[in-house]
Amino acid sequence: MTLFNLKGKRALITGGTHGLGLAMAEGLAIAGAELVITGTTPSKMDDALAYYKSKGYAVSGYLFDVTDEIAAAKTIELIGQELGDIHILVNNAGIIKRELAITMPIADFRQVIDVDLVGPFIMSQLVGKQMIARKEGKIINICSMMSELGRNSVSAYAAAKGGLKMLTRNLATEWAKHNIQVNGIGPGYFATTQTEPIRVDGHPFNDFIINRTPAARWGNPEDLAGTAVFLASKASDFVNGQIIYVDGGILATIGKPSNED
């Protein structure tokens, strides 16, 4: 199990205060990593830090917006002074705005691209500098099955997550020679606050996803922890530019008629 041991590693997870970010951070902590979580909401940060500390994990929290390159740079420098190097970066923070393309305000489209694509670029560039100097690092970008497929009302999100897939491959291309492995995780449909509006019992989308997913269920955030540990550990030292889809099989199939088992 030394291949998956993260003892002595410091992992920064953006948006690590709730949902998928919290579940992946917990998986990294159980594997031995020290956690650094970022967020933008003080109350969520307080609750998250209390949770992590109640579990006995080593954790620090920093409030800043990943789209603000000045604030991000200052915070990464402060983390360096207060804690030390970042060995693992999980670009998880993201938003979605469900609006049909024809009527979507440009400002909304631009905001989704900014948070979901520009933010990971800013964080990767800042943390990548210290990883290049150290000749070692792990970057995990949280993509989506919308990195591969579109659907009505998520054009900004799909464009951002499709871009994040290609950013992952391009950073892998440029930084693999520095022993930095840049990969992605593509969650399928997970039970989070982001999907709550389309997941309630009886909602047509809920029935659609259950039928469209071979595993016939929504993902649970903890379903992502193992893949995060794999991509953060020595076990993935020769894995570069790959997106691992944790999706219950949804991308493997065209689906089935609702009357088929």
Catalytic (active-site) positions: 157
Give the Cβ contact number of residue 33 at 10 Å: 28
List binders of ligand GCO among 122-181 (CB under 6 A). Answer: 144-146, 151, 154, 157
List binders of ligand GCO among 183-202 (CB under 6 A). Answer: 187-189, 194-195, 198
Angle between helices 106-113 and 155-175 (to 10 degrees): 30
Per rule CB under 6 A, is residue 218 in the interface with ligand GCO?
no
DSSP letters for 66-119: TT-HHHHHHHHHHHHHHT----EEEE---------GGG--HHHHHHHHIIIIIH
Helix (H, G, I), strand (E, B) or coil at 226: helix
The binding track of 92-111 with respect to ligand GCO, each residue x by CB under 6 A or -, is ----x-x-------------
The 8-class DSSP code of residue 136 comes to -
Q: Going by DSSP bridges, is the β-strand pair 34-39/10-14 parallel, antiparallel, or unpaired?
A: parallel
Rounded to whole angstroms, the Cα distance separating 113 from 245 reads 21
List binders of ligand GCO among 20-79 (CB under 6 A). Answer: none
Number of residues that bind ligand GCO (CB under 6 A): 14
CB 57 → ligand GCO: shortest distance, Å? 26
Q: Which CB sits closer to ligand GCO, 63 or 191?
A: 191
The 8-class DSSP code of residue 261 comes to -
CB 154 → ligand GCO: shortest distance, Å? 5
Per rule CB under 6 A, is residue 243 in the interface with ligand GCO?
no
Phi, psi of 156 (to 5 degrees): -65, -45
Q: Which CB sits closer to ligand GCO, 128 or 163?
A: 163
Which residue sits closest to ligand GCO, CB atoms considered? 144
Q: Which CB sits closer to ligand GCO, 98 or 178?
A: 98
Q: Which CB sits closer to ligand GCO, 125 or 153?
A: 153
Q: Tokens 């989506």 label which residue?
A: 144
Rounded to whole angstroms, the Cα distance separating 168 from 211 reads 31
Q: Which CB sits closer to ligand GCO, 38 or 195?
A: 195
Rounded to whole angstroms, the Cα distance separating 103 from 11 reads 39
Q: Please name which of 6, 30, 14, 214 lies closest in space to residue 95, comparing C-alpha atoms.
A: 14
Per CB under 6 A, residues contacting ligand GCO are: 96, 98, 144-146, 151, 154, 157, 187-189, 194-195, 198
